[in-house]
Amino acid sequence: MNQMSGRRKLSVIVSLLFLCLFITVPAGAATVTLNKVQTSVYVGKTVKLAPTSGKAKNWRSSKPSIATVSSSGVVTGRRKGTSTIYCTVGGKTLKCTMNVRNKNRSKYVTNAQAAVWLNVLGAVESGGMVYGHRDYACFANPGENSPNEASCTGGAYQEYGESLRELLIEIRRQYPVSFNARDKAGIATDIKRSWEYSPYTATYGSSKGQSIRAIISCNAGAFVQDLRACELLDEYIDDIKTLGVTNLRSAMLMAECEHLGGFGAVKRVVNRASNRNSMNSLLVSLFKDQNDYSSSYQIGDSIYRNRHNSIANWLKQYIPASAKIR
């Protein structure tokens, strides 16, 4: 009796396994997503979103003033910013982070001129002094660039300390999927606190350093780095304009100097130049820093001479002498 019962149990198990082989599960039913989970669109342009399977409904935008979405998933950029686009498929809510961009990278220069700025800044900061070269994964340990730097520095344009933290925050805000996929060391938690007064001391080969390098060098990270560098140019020109500089070559040279040493140093150089709208005159003034022996790290000191001369030569080659700040 017990033997027959055991056989019946075995028969039932085999039958169930056999039936399982013929049960059809909808492909991708548990992993349906939108065709884009994070993307960008220019103001006035559109991008089409669609689920990988099934039919989407209830399309909506978290910020319609930035991006609107039609009942068929067509998103239109309205103004610069970030909005989340939602829809439902079979009762499941799907979303896409939508970054709306202005067509112009800068308010003061054309996109072509902005590209020159990126090529110049990338070359001197991470590209080995080769015009157009840049290393988006570049990383410097605390104190490596200067003994005064207590935090680490990262990216093609060498963002230091709190600035690096802001870069990581921006990548996570705009491209959370790319960020989270590369954060293997708790960077999302680390960026919740300020690094300005509490140095962040991750090193190149540490797990945190490796995660940061992976995040900032992926496509999303590189895009945000370029965008921030153009925004920095606008901030620098905002300052430099107050000193009466209108020539674009001169403004870009001084913008790079501000990136290197701050606005106070730029103000010193511009105010003692014989012609603040002549790049050559600004170079002469810049190198007068070498007559001051109180510091070896002023922006015009000899250690930076090749850097400034290279920048001036590139600007002469790629920016017309008559070009003005827009």
Q: What is the pLDDT of residues 213-228, one digit of tens each?
A: 999 999 999 999 999 9
Cα angle value 192/198/202 (rounded, 5°) = 80
CB atoms within 10 A of CB 218: 19
Are 125 and 154 in contact by the 8 Å Cβ rule? The answer is: no
214 DSSP assignment: H
Give the count of alpha carbons within 13 A of 311, CB side only: 27
Give the pLDDT confidence score for residue 22 in this predicted structure.
43
pLDDT, one tens digit per residue, over 45-96 is: 999 999 999 999 999 999 999 999 999 999 999 999 999 999 999 999 999 9
Contact between 168 and 216 under an 8 Å Cβ cutoff? The reply is yes
pLDDT-flagged residues of the chain (< 70): 1-30, 296
**Percent of the chain whose pLDDT exceeds 90:** 78
The predicted model scores a pTM of 0.80
- pLDDT score at 30: 56
* Residue-level pLDDT at 11: 53
